[in-house]
Amino acid sequence: MKMKMKIENRVRRLRFDHGEMTQQALADKVGATRQTVLAIEAGKYAPSLELAFRIADAFGVGVQEVFQREYEEQPCR
The CATH code of the domain that includes 51 is 1.10.260.40
In a domain, 46, yes or no: yes
Q: 3-class SS at 30?
A: helix
Looking at beta carbons, which pairs linking 14-21 to residues 24 or more positions away fall under 8 Å?
14/59, 14/61, 14/66, 17/59, 18/59
Of the candidates 53, 76, 66, the residue with the CA atom closest to the CA atom of residue 18 = 66
- Please give the tally of structural domains in the chain: 1
Residue 22 placed within a domain: yes
List the chain pLDDT tens, one digit each, 77 residues: 788 888 999 999 999 999 999 999 999 999 999 999 999 999 999 999 999 999 999 999 999 999 999 888 877 76
Residue 25 belongs to domain spanning? 2-64
The model's pTM: 0.87
